[in-house]
């Protein structure tokens, strides 16, 4: 069922002190339509936002998404404030608590029936909304916040509140609402010179009838959107006052350090707890099915005591699994390269390989839990507070309603803190249960984090392409495995025979969603291969792509923009080169040109990256650019350096020494341009990632003639012999 019917709810009332409260909630959806109808009383609303206006003329907007560095709360508040005609300096933002009422059904609405965010994983279609409802999602992920919650929730709520304020003013002044104008948190009537602040009108506004289809502003008259107001979270992030889960403290709290079965699925066989229990500050050694935890009065003491334990774990039967064995299985599953037309003048084949990757958020996994009788409190940082609360409840055997979760700012998310990967909440809950009623903060070490992630999948892809005698592509096929199937294989190019087939190969390494999900692998595969086809055709890689985008005007415009920004086609010194790639993900098209220099000794530097981005329209220009910049650096670090390897069933890498990240010395300047199109709003948290690795590899080829077909790039010697 792809067609949503639309029913939503909006309610208003007064708050203490004479303020105005407006709540907007949504059920099911008609993509692209913005309005609300009164709910019948039987419907239980899921609140998307509320807007309060207090007599001091402050507008407070509640946001059902978390702040993990993308500026989402600021952007969402801008969308509501724009329609409300609020003075931005008088707007405040508050994150929604983890209550069922805030399950963000709007995340599904953003997808409009043609695309479901992969973060929702399994079997989501008709039921996308139903699944949300059952599992109680409150997700920040899939680059959906602005295009879902913002477009269909915030805007409508802001517009409705404005109409009620206008109605209140008109009533007071004996005028028609249409004669009054709202601007900068004030309603005015030009002819009579009357004027009142939103705060002064709040009490009366609350008694006005709620509009069911408030008119939205024409984008041409936006005054808050398309500007760059400062993000609301930044002041607290320069003076140390921002509160992350790791910073939470409550009286009597103890600390836990964990050692988890090194092979996922392994069980604790035995551990002599006595040596740790004899150490200073240690309160208890807690043994769990798959882990041992030392609980102490400081984290450092807990960790020091954990280090003396010698727990034995099973290997879950996976002790013979290695990176080599996994890729051997991939190789077998893929078989021969796809067959090409026999009349082709030229056939191109290539094989690409990418490794497992860890998320490595700067804040490791942290969760504090206090269990008291049949109730529990959870303090953590997650991309989905409601689902995390369910995980804690299940681990504790408690009713979900009896578990209260407080979410904190996230020290990075990148997909690690999404539903189905809340092992750190589960473990922390079980440790705290053993210490009930004492609250326990379980802090993962960096080693825990890197060795017990839900990894970006390693993948192998085998490609074949055919060209006619004029270099026109006839076919481009691929067989791939490890990356999972999905829309990420889409190629926009006009090639008669395009095909991408997934071949299944099983392995026991647990996988999760890593920034941009499957696009991170397929962006590298498909945009490397089209580059190889361009070279085989004897054509410039930019011109070759452009020639195949005649019926894809948005792709073509982005590609041309990125090329122009990078002065594509102008000559570069020996050893330097440019590479280009373009991908669509999460409704946004991004073309990137990477410029590289490779020294005669094979040392690679990346001075510049240019990105042309079509996400429809942009809410906060500066934080949108920051997301693209961040996505590019995130992808660059992975493409150059990152690889999780498996030996004897377990992850080998432990910390930043063997899973290194780029530093400022390695970071390019990033120039980002946005193309305004009439397309629906696209996401921004992730789409900067997918084109980068291919554009980089293509640039290395342009500079050196060496074709990189395996990530990370450090594995390919770049010294030209």
Partner 1 sequence: MAITITVNGTAHSLDVEPEMPLLWALRETLGLTGTKFGCGISACGACTVHLDGRAVRSCTLPISAADGKSVTTIEGLARNGTLHRVQEAWVAHQVPQCGYCQSGMIMAVAGLLAQIPNPTDDEIDANLTNICRCGTFARVRTAIHQAAGSEGAAS
Residue 123 CB, shortest distance to partner 1, in Å, is: 31
Residue 526 CB, shortest distance to partner 1, in Å, is: 24
Closer residue to partner 1, CB minimum distance, 93 or 467: 93
- Tokens standing for residue 470: 């004029």
- Tokens standing for residue 326: 């996994």
Question: CB-based contacts of 479: which residues, under 8 Å, 6+ apart?
Answer: 334, 335, 337, 338, 461, 462, 500, 501, 502, 503
Residue 701 CB, shortest distance to partner 1, in Å, is: 24
Whole-Å CA distances, 15 to 99, 153, 395: 20, 21, 38
Closer residue to partner 1, CB minimum distance, 223 or 236: 236
d(CA 194, CA 486): 58
Packed helices 519-536 and 692-704: angle between N→C axes, nearest 10 degrees: 30
Pair 581, 523: CB distance under 8 Å: yes
The CA-CA-CA angle for residues 496, 500, 504, to 5°, reads: 160
Chain mean position to CA 34 = 25
Packed helices 155-173 and 198-205: angle between N→C axes, nearest 10 degrees: 90
Closer residue to partner 1, CB minimum distance, 311 or 631: 631
For partner 1, the binding residues (CB under 8 A) are 68-71, 230-231, 233-244, 246-247, 249, 255, 280, 298-300, 360-364, 409-414, 443, 445-446, 622-623, 626, 629-634, 636-637, 655-657, 661-665, 667-670
Does residue 255 sit in helix, strand or coil? strand
Kind of pairing between the strands at 47-53 and 59-63: antiparallel
Closest CA to 614 of 585, 593, 581: 585
Closer residue to partner 1, CB minimum distance, 257 or 466: 257
Residue 138 CB, shortest distance to partner 1, in Å, is: 19
Residue 367 CB, shortest distance to partner 1, in Å, is: 15
- Tokens standing for residue 420: 């189905």
Residue 600 CB, shortest distance to partner 1, in Å, is: 20
Closer residue to partner 1, CB minimum distance, 128 or 565: 565
Closer residue to partner 1, CB minimum distance, 247 or 331: 247
Rg of the chain over Cα atoms, rounded to whole angstroms, equals: 27
Residue 421 CB, shortest distance to partner 1, in Å, is: 17
Whole-Å CA distances, 502 to 72, 464, 487: 34, 15, 12
Does residue 205 sit in helix, strand or coil? helix
What residue has token string 């969402």?
A: 76
Residue 74 CB, shortest distance to partner 1, in Å, is: 10
d(CA 123, CA 105): 16
- Tokens standing for residue 134: 């059952």
Pair 79, 151: CB distance under 8 Å: yes
Closer residue to partner 1, CB minimum distance, 101 or 247: 247
Contacts 24+ apart (CB under 8 A), 176-180: none
d(CA 85, CA 56): 16
Residue 378 CB, shortest distance to partner 1, in Å, is: 19
Residue 284 CB, shortest distance to partner 1, in Å, is: 18
* β-bridge partners, 462: 351, 479
The CA-CA-CA angle for residues 323, 324, 330, to 5°, reads: 90
Residue 3 CB, shortest distance to partner 1, in Å, is: 38
Residue 637 CB, shortest distance to partner 1, in Å, is: 8
Residue 303 CB, shortest distance to partner 1, in Å, is: 8
> How many beta carbons lie within 10 A of that of residue 234, not counting itself?
12
Write down how long the chain is.
Answer: 721
Closest CA to 641 of 579, 719, 693: 693
- Phi-psi category of residue 558: left, alpha or beta, with phi > 0 → left and psi -120 to 50 → alpha: alpha
Helix (H) or strand (E) holding 169: helix 155-173
Chain mean position to CA 373 = 36
- Phi-psi category of residue 456: left, alpha or beta, with phi > 0 → left and psi -120 to 50 → alpha: beta
Does residue 569 sit in helix, strand or coil? coil
Closer residue to partner 1, CB minimum distance, 198 or 299: 299
Task: Tell me the H-state helices in 436-586.
Answer: 446-451, 519-536, 541-547, 553-565
Closer residue to partner 1, CB minimum distance, 469 or 665: 665
Residue 68 CB, shortest distance to partner 1, in Å, is: 6
Edge-to-edge strands, sheet with 47-53: 7-15, 19-28, 47-53, 59-63, 91-95
Closer residue to partner 1, CB minimum distance, 672 or 704: 672
Residue 486 CB, shortest distance to partner 1, in Å, is: 25
Closer residue to partner 1, CB minimum distance, 460 or 517: 517
């Amino acid at each position: 069922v792809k067609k949503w019917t639309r029913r939503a709810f909006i309610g208003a009332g007064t708050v203490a002190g004479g303020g105005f409260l407006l709540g907007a909630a949504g059920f099911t959806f008609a993509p692209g339509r913005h309005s609300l109808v009164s709910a019948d009383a039987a419907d239980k609303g899921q609140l998307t936002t509320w807007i309060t206006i207090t007599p001091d003329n402050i507008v407070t907007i509640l946001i059902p998404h978390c702040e993990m560095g993308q500026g989402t709360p600021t952007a969402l508040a801008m969308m509501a404030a724009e329609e409300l005609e609020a003075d931005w300096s008088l707007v405040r933002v508050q994150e929604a608590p983890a209550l069922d009422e805030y399950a963000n059904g709007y995340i599904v609405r953003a997808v409009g029936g043609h695309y479901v965010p992969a973060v929702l994983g399994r079997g989501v279609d008709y039921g996308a909304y139903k699944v949300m409802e059952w599992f109680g999602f409150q997700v920040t992920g899939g680059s959906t916040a602005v295009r879902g919650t913002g477009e269909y929730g915030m805007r409508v709520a802001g517009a409705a509140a404005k109409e009620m304020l206008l109605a209140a003013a008109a009533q007071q002044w004996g005028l028609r609402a249409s004669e009054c104008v709202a601007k900068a948190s004030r309603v005015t009537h030009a002819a009579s010179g009357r004027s009142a602040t939103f705060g002064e009108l709040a009490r009366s506004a609350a008694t006005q009838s709620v509009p069911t289809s408030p008119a939205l502003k024409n984008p041409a008259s936006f005054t808050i959107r398309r500007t760059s107001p400062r993000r609301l979270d930044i002041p607290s992030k320069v003076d140390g006052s921002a509160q992350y889960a790791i910073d939470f403290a409550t009286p009597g709290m103890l600390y836990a350090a964990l050692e988890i079965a090194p092979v996922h699925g392994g069980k604790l066989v035995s551990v002599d707890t006595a040596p740790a229990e004899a150490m200073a500050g240690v309160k208890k050694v807690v043994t769990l099915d798959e882990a041992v935890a030392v609980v102490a009065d400081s984290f450092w003491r807990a960790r020091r005591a954990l280090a003396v334990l010698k727990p034995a774990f099973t290997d879950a039967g996976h002790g013979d699994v290695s990176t080599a064995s996994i890729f051997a299985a991939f190789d077998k599953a893929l078989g021969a390269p796809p067959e090409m037309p026999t009349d082709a003048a030229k056939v191109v084949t290539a094989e690409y390989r990418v490794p497992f990757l860890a998320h490595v958020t700067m804040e490791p996994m942290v969760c504090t839990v206090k269990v008291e009788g049949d109730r529990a409190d959870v303090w953590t940082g997650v991309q989905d507070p409601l689902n995390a609360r369910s995980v804690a409840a299940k681990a504790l055997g408690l009713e979900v309603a009896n578990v209260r979760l407080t979410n904190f700012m996230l020290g990075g998310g990148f997909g690690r803190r999404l539903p189905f990967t809340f092992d750190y909440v589960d473990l922390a809950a079980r440790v705290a249960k053993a210490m009930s009623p004492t609250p326990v903060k379980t802090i993962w070490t960096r080693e825990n984090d890197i060795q017990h992630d839900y990894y970006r999948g390693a993948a192998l892809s085998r490609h074949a392409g055919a060209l006619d005698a004029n270099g026109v592509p006839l076919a481009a096929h691929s067989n791939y495995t490890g990356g999972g199937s999905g829309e990420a294989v889409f190629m926009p190019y006009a090639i008669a025979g395009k095909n991408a087939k997934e071949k299944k190969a099983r392995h026991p390494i647990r996988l999760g969603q890593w920034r941009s999900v499957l696009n991170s692998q397929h962006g590298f595969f498909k945009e490397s291969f089209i580059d190889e086809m361009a070279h085989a055709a004897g054509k410039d890689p930019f011109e070759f792509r452009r020639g195949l985008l005649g019926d894809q005007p948005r792709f073509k415009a982005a590609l041309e923009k990125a090329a122009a920004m990078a002065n594509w086609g102008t000559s570069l010194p020996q050893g330097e080169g440019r590479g280009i790639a373009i991908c669509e993900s999460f409704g946004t098209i991004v073309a990137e040109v990477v410029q590289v220099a490779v020294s005669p000794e094979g040392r690679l530097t990346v001075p510049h990256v240019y990105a042309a981005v079509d996400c429809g329209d942009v809410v906060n220009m500066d934080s949108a650019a920051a997301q693209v910049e961040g996505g590019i650096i995130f992808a660059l670090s992975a493409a150059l350096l990152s690889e999780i390897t498996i030996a004897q069933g377990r992850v080998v890498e432990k910390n930043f020494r063997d899973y290194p990240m780029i530093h400022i010395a390695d970071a390019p300047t990033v120039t980002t341009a946005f193309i305004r199109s009439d397309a629906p709003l696209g996401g921004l948290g992730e789409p900067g990632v997918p084109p980068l690795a291919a554009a980089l590899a293509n640039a290395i080829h342009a500079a050196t003639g060496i074709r990189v077909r395996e990530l990370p790039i450090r594995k390919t010697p770049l010294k030209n012999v």
